[in-house]
Chain A
Amino acid sequence: MALDSKVPQGPIADKWTNYKNHIDLVNPANKRNIDVIVVGTGLAGGSAAATLAELGYNVKAFAYQDSPRRAHSIAAQGGINAAKNYQGDGDSTYRLFYDTVKGGDYRAREANVYRLAEVSANIIDQCVAQGVPFARDYGGLLDNRSFGGVLVSRTFYAKGQTGQQLLLGAYSAMNRQIGRGKIKMYNRHEMMDVVLVDGKARGIITRNLVTGEVERHSAHAVVIASGGYGNVFFLSTNAMGSNVSASWKIHKKGAYFANPCYTQIHPTCIPVSGDHQSKLTLMSESLRNDGRIWVPAKLEDAQAIREGKKKPTDLSEAERDYYLERRYPAFGNLVPRDVASRAAKERCDAGFGVNATGEAVYLDFADAIKRYGREQALIHGDNNPTAEKIDKLGKELVKAKYGNLFQMYDKIVDEDPYNTPMMIYPAVHYTMGGTWVDYNLMTTIPGCYCIGEANFSDHGANRLGASALMQGLADGYFVLPYTIGDYLSDDIRTGAIPTDSPEFEEAEKSVKDQINFFVNNKGTKSVDHFHKRLGKIMWNKVGMARNAQGLTEAMSEIKALREEFWKDVKVPGSADTYNEELAKAGRVADFLELGELFAKDALVREESCGGHFREESAETEGPQKGEAKRNDADFAFVSAWEYTGEPGDAVLHKEQLEFNDIELKTRSYK
């Protein structure tokens, strides 16, 4: 099948408006006869479910958690971008569009990104009307902060819990519709497969995680909003239950999977403390505004620190290597996420890591405390403050800015970051890749849509901070509800989709077969055992820096691991009760397939772009030596993979990216 992105004609600024003016609509009376399934209740799914229900469709929403409010969007800390230009600092739709495309290293589809920037302002209006308590200034107007390497202040926030507040807003909109009976909510339900009737998505098979019952649900369209797949690395900042299964199941039934290798590795996470580690915790990016990142300059010192013979505070300035400031004098500690992450890995690989595992660098606030302390003393009218006073005032200010993060760090690591530098290390955080969708957010399966982090659409090879929340809500509140109408307008006379067709029968059977296989398999190793091993392969060979040899090895290792998994996995308990091991088994089975495609995608993309760094594609000379080298001539395309039976045999389709409104440039942070 040829890929058709269905991007409307016309100037970029008018595309969306013109498009909306011309699509088919479903009249309100007919919407009552149309059912839509939404898998996922995060920002994307929650906002979509609420809006579709409000428009009049019958919505069935699914989440694996016990409440829609617990989707992992809840964990987003920093904020949400919107081109409101409330600060009057020159922001505009175009600038947000431009920043997003550039930040994505020119691997995103222009028209989608423009639309995202265009509807962004509406999101804020919508959320405020819903009662989302965004931060405000003393005049009662909305406050903004600046975020990740852009030149304007356009990030709206609610303390360090923006994702939580936005999700609770979407959840409240859902509650209103649940109360009216327009949304039927299925909590603790996991989507196990999609059902295609006459080539169209017409329903899903789910497993009730409480009773174990396998159920059939039909609808006229299916929307997947199941979030990111970072857990393929086992350790990530995602939730324990985050999975690729919903996306992977539709992939296996015909939806192309785009750019699986584009993964964002966030530089400021709390390092792994041991083998028992189950997940990683993000420390907000904002810390890099004030913290200085360093490792010891001498290998002996690094070793002494690892062995506990020296403390970081023992090292003098000259004995420290502020490597970001050294390598990137212009941006210093504020280089983009991918650059900061790779630099940390480079130092640790060279033996300068500072915790017992050798995989940590320091994020030091001592200078910030001194600087702020002096400033504060002056403000208090003390021109000659003592060192103690500076220290005290400085710590107070740092506490006001980052108190909750410092406390979180202290609880996890048991060290006081006011007095000793924090230890941080990069961790898998976000997946830009995902199900391929056209301008309508429809996958290559007719009637099957994909929104939020689960699709690939807007962030190219790298996502800017605070724009995932924006995308999720844009997709759910403002884009999908329009575009889906165009498709559903053909279904007004279809009537309810029966669930007793052979297609449902067959899909249900294959789901049950897999479940029965797991509970009956006489294996010896736990699901986590395989998941952890997969994570190690992914991290070591498909992680922050990749090369052809490692990727080839990863592909065959993952394939072998998958075979071993199917022979030797042990799932205790039965199929007809609450059984978390069984749920995990299904998810890990899919990760074991995705992992291989992921490595294959990385192997095919012989360039470095955004979060994808190929060691073979680095600048070899000049001031940019060692930095990532993009190859626009050969790789300015989206890789859309078609499933053909084995992940390693997937067929590549290319969607060529055209840049008419933005000029392609090399990113430089030197």
Chain B
Amino acid sequence: MDMNLKLKIWRQSGANDEGKMVDYSLADVSPDMSFLEMLDVLNEQILNEGGEPVAFDHDCREGICGMCSLYINGEAHGPDRGITTCQLHMRKFKDGDTIYIEPFRAKAFPVIKDLVVDRTAFDRIQHQGGFISVNTSGNTQDANSLPISKHAADEAMDAATCIGCGACVATCKNSSAMLFVGAKVSQYALLPQGQVEASDRVKNMVAQMDLEGFGNCTNTGACEVECPKGISLDNIARMNREFFKANI
């Protein structure tokens, strides 16, 4: 059942290098391996041949930290749905397949090395309002003194599950970050705690998003399809409404 694969991988030695696609072949890949384990095996092979292993981001390898990325055969996080690259398994591929592996591409996500990109633009957007201004002193009111409808809490939770992976940006033909920003704005917009600063939050976060050089949403919906956490387009619409409210 083991497979032989052809890999076409983006190699770029550093931010200032041009970079190019390089071909590799890899034998005896087990269908039970995860995609990243397949890359581990490739790296071991490259290392033994005296080369430099392919750099790629990863950490939790269970689909929650948002560190892994990769554009696999033309899709962010590969061909499977509702998962991150680290959750993709080789059984999705066939013996003899050629697999293209590229970094997430956007001007706001510059390549650091090979497949590793810099996504700190997302953090900078959050610095501009991705929080509720409450002191962490512990002298807050009792948690149950503020009932929140289950519906609102659940919806806020759905928005809050975004892992900040950037697949939405990578997938979007416009490199727009609106799904990510929309999810964060929505989480707070749906909760009473978030109301006080709602207007400044959405203005400041959108301004930073624009400053970082992300593109404009044209509602293709690709982000929602590729998002490993199923973040809904509703969040973009909600952000638009919030932005509207904040500006009139």
Q: Which residues of A contact B (CB under 8 A)?
A: 47, 50-51, 54, 65-70, 72, 74-75, 84, 86, 119, 122-131, 133-142, 158-159, 161, 164-165, 168, 171-173, 175-176, 178-179, 185, 187, 210, 237, 239-241, 273-274, 276-279, 281-282, 407-408, 411-412, 414, 477-478, 526, 528, 570, 572-573, 577-578, 580-581
| Contact partners of A139 in chain B: CB under 8 A | 147
| Contact partners of A125 in chain B: CB under 8 A | 138, 140-143
A133 and B128 contact, CB distance less than 8 A:
no
Beta-carbon nearest neighbor of A165 in chain B:
B160
A129 and B132 contact, CB distance less than 8 A:
yes
Q: Which residues of B contact A (CB under 8 A)?
A: 13-14, 30, 32-34, 36-38, 40-41, 44, 47-48, 50-53, 55, 57-67, 80, 82-83, 87, 89, 91, 112-113, 116, 118-120, 122-123, 126-128, 130-138, 140-144, 146-150, 153-154, 156-157, 160-161, 163-164, 187-188, 191, 193-194
**24 CB < 8 A contacts A-B:** A66-B120, A69-B164, A74-B64, A74-B65, A122-B138, A124-B143, A126-B134, A129-B134, A136-B147, A136-B153, A141-B147, A161-B64, A165-B160, A172-B132, A175-B127, A176-B131, A176-B133, A239-B61, A277-B37, A411-B89, A528-B44, A573-B52, A577-B113, A578-B55
Contact of B40 among A119, A159, A278 (CB under 8 A): A278
A279 and B47 contact, CB distance less than 8 A:
no
Q: Say whether, besides A129-B132, A134-B153, A239 and B52 are in contact (CB < 8 Å).
A: no
Q: Say whether, besides A126-B136, A133-B156, A141-B147, A69 and B142 are in contact (CB < 8 Å).
A: no
B65 and A276 contact, CB distance less than 8 A:
no
| Contact partners of A407 in chain B: CB under 8 A | 82
Q: Say whether, besides A72-B59, A577-B113, A54 and B136 are in contact (CB < 8 Å).
A: yes
Nearest Cβ on chain A to B59's Cβ, whole angstroms: 4
Q: Say whether, besides A139-B147, A578-B55, A168 and B160 are in contact (CB < 8 Å).
A: yes
| Contact partners of B113 in chain A: CB under 8 A | 577-578
A65 and B59 contact, CB distance less than 8 A:
yes
B87 and A411 contact, CB distance less than 8 A:
yes
9 additional A-B pairs beyond A124-B143, A276-B32, beta carbons within 8 Å, are A74-B65, A129-B134, A131-B156, A131-B193, A140-B148, A185-B123, A411-B80, A577-B14, A581-B47
| Contact partners of A578 in chain B: CB under 8 A | 14, 55, 112-113, 116
Contact of A84 among B63, B143, B147, B150 (CB under 8 A): B143
Contact of A65 among B33, B64, B67, B135 (CB under 8 A): B67
Nearest Cβ on chain A to B116's Cβ, whole angstroms: 6
| Contact partners of B40 in chain A: CB under 8 A | 276, 278, 528
B47 and A572 contact, CB distance less than 8 A:
yes
A75 and B148 contact, CB distance less than 8 A:
no
| Contact partners of B191 in chain A: CB under 8 A | 131, 133
A414 and B61 contact, CB distance less than 8 A:
no
| Contact partners of B118 in chain A: CB under 8 A | 66, 210
| Contact partners of B32 in chain A: CB under 8 A | 273-274, 276, 414
Nearest Cβ on chain B to A306's Cβ, whole angstroms: 16
| Contact partners of B14 in chain A: CB under 8 A | 577-578
Complex CA distance for A526 and B46, rounded to whole angstroms? 11
A70 and B66 contact, CB distance less than 8 A:
yes
Contact of A70 among B50, B59, B141, B193 (CB under 8 A): B59
Q: Say whether, besides A70-B59, A172-B130, A578-B14, A119 and B138 are in contact (CB < 8 Å).
A: yes
Contact of B53 among A119, A122, A572 (CB under 8 A): A572
Contact of A136 among B48, B66, B150 (CB under 8 A): B150
Q: Say whether, besides A130-B131, A172-B130, A172-B131, A135 and B153 are in contact (CB < 8 Å).
A: yes
Contact of A278 among B34, B120, B140, B144 (CB under 8 A): B34
Complex CA distance for A377 and B243, rounded to whole angstroms? 48
| Contact partners of A86 in chain B: CB under 8 A | 144
Nearest Cβ on chain B to A667's Cβ, whole angstroms: 31
Beta-carbon nearest neighbor of B58 in chain A:
A240
Beta-carbon nearest neighbor of A183 in chain B:
B127
B89 and A412 contact, CB distance less than 8 A:
yes
A173 and B136 contact, CB distance less than 8 A:
yes
Contact of A577 among B13, B44, B67, B156 (CB under 8 A): B13
A128 and B193 contact, CB distance less than 8 A:
yes
B127 and A477 contact, CB distance less than 8 A:
no
Q: Say whether, besides A74-B60, A412-B89, A577-B14, A142 and B134 are in contact (CB < 8 Å).
A: no
Nearest Cβ on chain B to A304's Cβ, whole angstroms: 21
| Contact partners of B156 in chain A: CB under 8 A | 131, 133
A72 and B91 contact, CB distance less than 8 A:
no
B128 and A279 contact, CB distance less than 8 A:
no
Which of B36, B41, B47, B62 counts the most chain A CB atoms within 10 A? B62
Nearest Cβ on chain B to A637's Cβ, whole angstroms: 33
Beta-carbon nearest neighbor of A411 in chain B:
B87
| Contact partners of B126 in chain A: CB under 8 A | 171-172, 175
Nearest Cβ on chain A to B159's Cβ, whole angstroms: 8
Complex CA distance for A126 and B154, rounded to whole angstroms? 19
| Contact partners of A68 in chain B: CB under 8 A | 123
B150 and A129 contact, CB distance less than 8 A:
no
Q: Say whether, besides A129-B193, A172-B132, A528-B44, A75 and B62 are in contact (CB < 8 Å).
A: yes
Complex CA distance for A130 and B13, rounded to whole angstroms? 41
Contact of A239 among B37, B59, B137, B187 (CB under 8 A): B59
Which of B14, B61, B120 counts the most chain A CB atoms within 10 A? B61
Contact of B164 among A47, A67, A84, A572 (CB under 8 A): A67
| Contact partners of A72 in chain B: CB under 8 A | 59-60, 65
| Contact partners of B149 in chain A: CB under 8 A | 136, 140
| Contact partners of A239 in chain B: CB under 8 A | 59-61, 65
A126 and B55 contact, CB distance less than 8 A:
no
Complex CA distance for A158 and B82, rounded to whole angstroms? 19
Complex CA distance for A577 and B30, rounded to whole angstroms? 32
Complex CA distance for A577 and B12, rounded to whole angstroms? 12
| Contact partners of A172 in chain B: CB under 8 A | 126, 130-132
Q: Say whether, besides A129-B140, A131-B132, A279-B62, A66 and B67 are in contact (CB < 8 Å).
A: yes
A128 and B143 contact, CB distance less than 8 A:
yes
Complex CA distance for A344 and B163, rounded to whole angstroms? 34
Complex CA distance for A412 and B92, rounded to whole angstroms? 11
Nearest Cβ on chain B to A571's Cβ, whole angstroms: 9
Complex CA distance for A84 and B143, rounded to whole angstroms? 10
B120 and A69 contact, CB distance less than 8 A:
no
Beta-carbon nearest neighbor of B31 in chain A:
A414
| Contact partners of A281 in chain B: CB under 8 A | 61-62
Complex CA distance for A139 and B153, rounded to whole angstroms? 12
Complex CA distance for A278 and B32, rounded to whole angstroms? 12
Complex CA distance for A542 and B62, rounded to whole angstroms? 26
Complex CA distance for A112 and B163, rounded to whole angstroms? 34
| Contact partners of A133 in chain B: CB under 8 A | 153-154, 156-157, 160, 187, 191
Complex CA distance for A141 and B140, rounded to whole angstroms? 17
Nearest Cβ on chain B to A638's Cβ, whole angstroms: 28
Beta-carbon nearest neighbor of A67 in chain B:
B123
B123 and A210 contact, CB distance less than 8 A:
no
Complex CA distance for A173 and B126, rounded to whole angstroms? 10
> Which A-B residue pairs are the 5 nearest by beta carbons?
A140-B147, A172-B131, A133-B157, A179-B127, A122-B138
| Contact partners of B127 in chain A: CB under 8 A | 175, 178-179
A278 and B13 contact, CB distance less than 8 A:
no
A131 and B153 contact, CB distance less than 8 A:
no
Beta-carbon nearest neighbor of B122 in chain A:
A67
Complex CA distance for A279 and B132, rounded to whole angstroms? 35
B132 and A130 contact, CB distance less than 8 A:
yes
Complex CA distance for A125 and B146, rounded to whole angstroms? 10
| Contact partners of B122 in chain A: CB under 8 A | 67
Complex CA distance for A223 and B9, rounded to whole angstroms? 40
| Contact partners of A129 in chain B: CB under 8 A | 132, 134, 140-141, 143, 193
A179 and B64 contact, CB distance less than 8 A:
no
Which of B60, B113, B123, B136 counts the most chain A CB atoms within 10 A? B136
Complex CA distance for A124 and B138, rounded to whole angstroms? 9
Beta-carbon nearest neighbor of B155 in chain A:
A133
B44 and A526 contact, CB distance less than 8 A:
yes
